[in-house]
């Protein structure tokens, strides 16, 4: 292999390593759902509120939380609230009784970088 080809190959490998490192660091800086109550896939008695803990402080101005039944019926929720500290959850009151069945929680928020993040999970009411 020629010396110029080895140099090119070395630069290509270094560039690829840099791209991978940057994308990993960028992903680590974005907000993610750390835990929830009810927890993902949990079987629980009918909850009266949802709690979502995020890895970074959420931007409440764009935070939304939706709850739907397995029949895709929207459940009435209160406005999401947050105590201001990253260790505190986003709390949302469930404003109607939940019948037994499977429910989906869908959320959307962002951290201070305003990069929107979304997700969902299910739980079952026994």
In this prediction, residue 84 carries a pLDDT of 85
Claim to verify: residue 117 and residue 75 sit in the same structural domain: yes
Claim to verify: residue 50 and residue 88 sit in the same structural domain: yes
Model confidence pLDDT, tens digit, residues 14-63: 555 444 444 434 444 789 999 999 999 999 999 999 999 999 999 999 99
Count the domains in the chain.
2
In this prediction, residue 30 carries a pLDDT of 83
Q: Whole domain around residue 7: which residue ranges?
A: 1-30
Claim to verify: residue 35 and residue 83 sit in the same structural domain: yes
Claim to verify: residue 46 and residue 95 sit in the same structural domain: yes
Which H, E and C letters describe the chain, residue by residue?
CCHHHHHHHHHHHHHHHHHHHHHHHHHHHCCCEEEEECCCCCEECCCCEEEEEECCCCCHHHCEEEEEECCCCECCECCCEECCCCCCCEEEEECCCCCCEEEEEEEEECCCCCCCEEEEEEEEEC
Can you tell me the distance from the alpha carbon of 98 to that of 78, in angstroms, rounded to the nearest whole number? 14
At residue 10 the predicted structure's pLDDT band, cuts being 50, 70 and 90, is low
The pTM (predicted TM-score) of the whole model is 0.77
Q: Which residue has the tokens 């896939």?
A: 41
Count, residues in the chain: 126
Give the pair of three-digit tokens for residue 121. 């999970």
How deeply is 91 buried, as exposed, middle or buried, from its count of CB atoms within 10 A (0-12, 13-18, 19+)? middle
pLDDT at residue 123 tops 50: yes
Claim to verify: residue 22 and residue 39 sit in the same structural domain: no
């Amino acid at each position: 292999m020629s010396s110029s080809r080895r140099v090119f190959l070395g630069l290509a490998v270094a560039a690829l390593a840099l791209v991978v490192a940057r994308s990993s660091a960028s992903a680590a800086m974005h907000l993610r759902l750390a835990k929830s109550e009810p927890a993902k896939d949990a079987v629980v008695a009918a909850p009266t509120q949802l709690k979502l803990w995020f890895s970074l402080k959420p931007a409440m101005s764009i935070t939304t939380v939706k709850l739907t039944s397995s029949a895709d019926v929207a459940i009435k929720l209160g406005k999401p609230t947050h105590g201001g500290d990253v260790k505190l959850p986003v709390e949302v009151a469930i404003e109607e009784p939940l019948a037994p069945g499977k429910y989906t929680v869908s959320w959307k928020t962002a951290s201070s970088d305003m990069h929107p993040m979304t997700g969902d999970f299910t739980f079952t009411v026994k």
